[in-house]
Structure 1
């Protein structure tokens, strides 16, 4: 994803309030440096370009600002641990499809499916194994992966 726009310093009167607002969403030690060795800046967003699987798409800045985090990818680490056996089986299926000379690695999870990176002799590409329908949350992940695994030979 590429974001572009104009970066400007936050007015001094707004810094304390905005640092606290930011800390509510993403607490980090760096916020203690604001006003000392760090400055708080603002990005006035002008352009958003999303790239996935080698395809670039322009996204309206307003749509980007209204977007919410993916409900499944937020729990990605926990889901990968809890469903490691099923995901390994799914990776094996992708490996069979890709061929024995290609390297297949799990890239990540989201509400739309499971993403893999396939590295072959002629290059690499990303592949999504989609769920039948987007998930509403992490609770449906195990059943969705199980459904993918029952769609053919194990």
Structure 2
């Protein structure tokens, strides 16, 4: 009988979904044009990403002018840590595909649908100063300090964000502000040469483990500490963290 080792980190498609959900900023890049910042973005389960851009932008005019054929495009999303770190960027995501204009008579309906999953005040600008576009994703790349990995459209459609994605920011802030003892115990799991003279912060947490940011004298290092087994709910996640830290 073949034994499969348990996963110790989210797979690439899940990382793309989680980083896209965390990202507060994104830009749309079209051939021959300067990148255009988006005010709203939502990577959907169907394999596309809906974005809002200024209605009077050159990019919006070009996409509308392309009609049903659309235009090749890339959307770059930046995932920033929810803590004030020396280098705040945790990950970058590039979504490549074809961007299409959303018909004028469907703009408000799509904005309403996006708001159900991602309420955002900038959606109120749709139909006035902003326009919704839809990029059908062909492939995605996510990059962080561990390297860069790519996934296909089919892999993205089969994946979900980490189940604790929406709560992660608040948890990391709480851990940093109120549980220095837990961070200190987790830091003892790091190689001694990394700990020497370094500031150590919680960088990420998901169902598989905790990642620490080590701000060393000369460089930063992101070190992942996997749980013994994946967490299924908030109670098991808390238990996994305390077990890893040796406080249970």
Range of TM-score over shorter length: 0.7 to 0.9
TM-score (norm 1): 0.83
How does 1:62-77 map onto structure 2 within 5 Å? 62-77=154-169
* Aligned counterpart, 2:213: 117
* Aligned counterpart, 2:95: 3
Is 1:88 equivalent to 2:180 in the alignment?
no
1:8 deviation in Å?
A: 1.9
1:127 pairs, out of 197, 214, 223, with: 223
Deviations 1:25-71 (CA, angstroms, capped at 9, x unpaired): 11111111111100010011122012233311111122213322211
Q: CA separation of 1:133/1:52 partners in 2, compared to 1, >3 Å: closer, same or farther?
A: farther
* Aligned counterpart, 2:41: none
Q: CA separation of 1:50/1:77 partners in 2, compared to 1, >3 Å: closer, same or farther?
A: closer
Residue 112 of structure 1 contacts residue 134 of structure 1 at CA under 8 Å; is this kept in 2? yes
Greater helix share, structure number: 1
TM-score (norm 2): 0.54
Report how many aligned residue pairs link the two structures. Answer: 152
1:99 deviation in Å?
A: 2.6
Structure 1 counterpart SS, 2:188: helix
1:136 deviation in Å?
A: 1.2
Q: CA separation of 1:54/1:150 partners in 2, compared to 1, >3 Å: closer, same or farther?
A: closer
Residue 141 of structure 2 contacts residue 148 of structure 2 at CA under 8 Å; is this kept in 1? yes
2:133 pairs, out of 29, 41, 61, with: 41
CA distance in 1, matches of 2:185, 2:153: 36
Structure 2 counterpart SS, 1:40: strand
Is 1:58 equivalent to 2:150 in the alignment?
yes
Cα RMSD (Å) of the superposition?
Answer: 2.5
